[in-house]
Structure 1
Amino acid sequence: MGIERMLRALKSSFRLTSVLLLALALSGCSAFSLFGEKKIVEEEIIPAEELYDKAISQVEDQRYLSAQKTFDKLERQHPYSEYSERSRLMTVYIAARTGQYQKTILAADRFLALYPSSQDAPYAMYMKGAAQYNQMKDITRDQQTAEDAIATFQAIINNFPNSRYAKDAKERILIAKDQLAGKEMSVGRYYLGNNNYTAAINRFRTVVEDHQTSTHVEEALLRLTEAYLALGLVNEAKTAAAVLGHNYPSSRWYEDAYKLLQKQGLAPEVESGNWLSNR
């Protein structure tokens, strides 16, 4: 009798399982939905042109977050359509417009990797450089972003010299280099104030040699005069002051350099045999 009851129970269980499986098949549900799993709903495919027009309209209304979602959908549904290139370029624009600098750089790099010969490549590169430029920090902090901006803007000048962005790239390079020179001056003054004259000279020399167009060259030459005098390197001090006077005769920095030499009975004079002689 025990065996017969077991067989009846198994038959009953089998019938219940069959009914459940049939119900699932008829309803179109997956087995996972029995355990609370979400059903996978296929995304509605919308024509690429329609998505692009919608996104552009959202951009015009300054609904940038919505526009980006629409462009993302376009790229996801139509990765090889004629609108993909324009969509990815607009992603660069939206990131820049909303002040997302790192996203701008990444989006620009992606666009340039996919479309290196695009007529919009200069624009993408310029937006990347502008994002780096806008992240430049004050001269007391690391200047890697300034160096990155200079490299990007120089690439525009080298690769797209006739583009509308080349002129502005040159101007921004000058400003970014002035930033680098300011950093060198800041460190140099610190060393000078702590009587580390050799280290200070190296910093001021970098300004004079590598950043000749910066606004810091005059002061750098004065500080070189000061540091050389402190080390007893009279010829170098006289030459630094002479170069300062020759290039910036009306400069207040030259007045200070002249007074420093005068206190020791010296006068500005170019002496041969040092790195400043030919400047």
Structure 2
Amino acid sequence: MKPAKPIALALIAAAVSLTACQSKAKRQEELAYVERPVEQLYNQAAARLDSRAYDDAILMFNEVERQHPYSEWARRSMVMTAYAQYKQHDYEEAISSARRYIGLHPGGSEAAYAYYLIAISQFEQIVDVGRDQGTTEAAKASLVDVVRRFPTSEYARDAQVKLDMVNDQLAGKEMTIGRWYLRSNQTLAAINRFRTVVEDFDTTSHTEEALYRLVEAYLTLGMRPQAVEAAAALGYNYPESDWYRMTYDLMTSEGLALEVEAPKRTLIQRLIPGGK
């Protein structure tokens, strides 16, 4: 059997696409324009959602809005449409639908969930630390918004967990750039990145390494007092850390005594030359 030629393959693809469009149009025609009681229509849409027939669910939730635009069911349907779009990974549409709800019903009972849907839709699009973190920053802002607006809600609790993960991601990005600067002998630029981790992401898993890298960088520049400060902060906060043991060996090799004691200033102040 000979392999299909490119033209034949293109025709097959076009036919499949046309069939899919016709199928969707047919479903829309079957689901729409049939007047039904609002609760019945909403429950049918919810049943489609439960069975993971997301396209059908979206069409039916939209029909709730069309047939009963001023009902509480229409308001709920806006959020459920956003949820169905989120479930089928159509994140931008989910965000748009959730924002539409917030714009029309900012004080609605589903507002907390709408804000949460925006946040998790952005969270799901986060990429690895080697790429641009614009989406990560947007997710962080939205997660913070959920925690700030609805601090006692279940959404805030989950948002806080995800926020910790987002901060770890952003700190990881700073560390990746800082290490590159260090390898490239751009030591001052590296210090700025590591200080950002210590100052802005001090509760993440990257803080210990950031302090160690600061010790390395300060010693490279001959800034011995600052190296001692960073090393002491590392030893006080993470005395059992492998990074501290490496720091201790490094400082000893440089002939620098390292006394770990409770800081008289905050961790951040101890890292700022001349801090009070």
Common fold: TM-score over 0.5: yes
The answer to whether the aligner puts 1:107 opposite 2:97 as a matched pair is yes
Deviations 1:29-57 (A, max 9, x none): xxxxxxxxxxxxxx845235143233223
| 2:35 alignment partner, one of 22, 46, 49 | 46
After TM superposition, the structure 1 = structure 2 runs for residues 8-157 of structure 1, keeping only pairs within 5 Å, are 44=33, 46-47=35-36, 49=38, 50-157=40-147
The alpha-carbon deviation at position 239 of structure 1 amounts to: 1.1
Assess, with a 3 A threshold, how the Cα gap between structure 1 residues 136 and 44 changes in structure 2: closer, same or farther. closer
Assess, with a 3 A threshold, how the Cα gap between structure 1 residues 242 and 273 changes in structure 2: closer, same or farther. closer
Assess, with a 3 A threshold, how the Cα gap between structure 1 residues 69 and 255 changes in structure 2: closer, same or farther. same
3-state secondary structure, aligned to 1:65: helix
1:45–1:77 Cα contact (<8 Å) kept: no
The AA in structure 2 aligned to 1:47 is R
Q: Distance in 2 between matches of 1:254 and 1:277?
A: 24
Q: Distance in 1 between matches of 2:70 and 2:270?
A: 65
Q: Which consecutive residues of structure 1, in runs of 5 or more, have no partner in the other structure?
A: 1-42
Q: Distance in 1 between matches of 2:274 and 2:232?
A: 9
**Which residue is equivalent to 1:39?**
none
1:239–1:269 Cα contact (<8 Å) kept: no
| 1:275 alignment partner, one of 260, 267, 272 | 272
**Which residue is equivalent to 2:206?**
216
Q: Distance in 1 between matches of 2:215 and 2:137?
A: 28
Q: Which consecutive residues of structure 2, in runs of 5 or more, have no partner in the other structure?
A: 1-31, 264-268
Moved more, 176-185 or 105-114: 105-114
1:191–1:199 Cα contact (<8 Å) kept: yes
1:126–1:165 Cα contact (<8 Å) kept: yes
The AA in structure 1 aligned to 2:140 is I
Moved more, 225-234 or 47-56: 47-56
**Which residue is equivalent to 1:171?**
161
TM-score, length of structure 1 as denominator length: 0.79
The AA in structure 1 aligned to 2:168 is D
1:241–1:269 Cα contact (<8 Å) kept: no
Q: Distance in 2 between matches of 1:62 and 1:214?
A: 37
**Which residue is equivalent to 1:28?**
none
**Which residue is equivalent to 1:258?**
248
Q: Distance in 2 between matches of 1:136 and 1:235?
A: 39
| 1:240 alignment partner, one of 201, 215, 230 | 230
Q: Distance in 1 between matches of 2:214 and 2:237?
A: 15
Aligned length: 238
The AA in structure 1 aligned to 2:123 is Y
| 2:181 alignment partner, one of 177, 186, 191 | 191
Deviations 1:70-113 (A, max 9, x none): 22233334433342101111101101111221112111111111
3-state secondary structure, aligned to 1:83: helix
Task: Calculate percent identity across the aligned residue pairs.
Answer: 44
2:230–2:270 Cα contact (<8 Å) kept: no
The AA in structure 2 aligned to 1:139 is V
Structure 1 segments, 4+ long, off by >4 Å, are 269-274, 276-279
The alpha-carbon deviation at position 229 of structure 1 amounts to: 0.6
Q: Distance in 1 between matches of 2:114 and 2:213?
A: 41
Q: Distance in 2 between matches of 1:61 and 1:250?
A: 51
Assess, with a 3 A threshold, how the Cα gap between structure 1 residues 255 and 82 changes in structure 2: closer, same or farther. closer
CA RMSD of superposed structures (Å):
2.4
The alpha-carbon deviation at position 202 of structure 1 amounts to: 0.1
2:175–2:210 Cα contact (<8 Å) kept: yes
The AA in structure 2 aligned to 1:230 is T
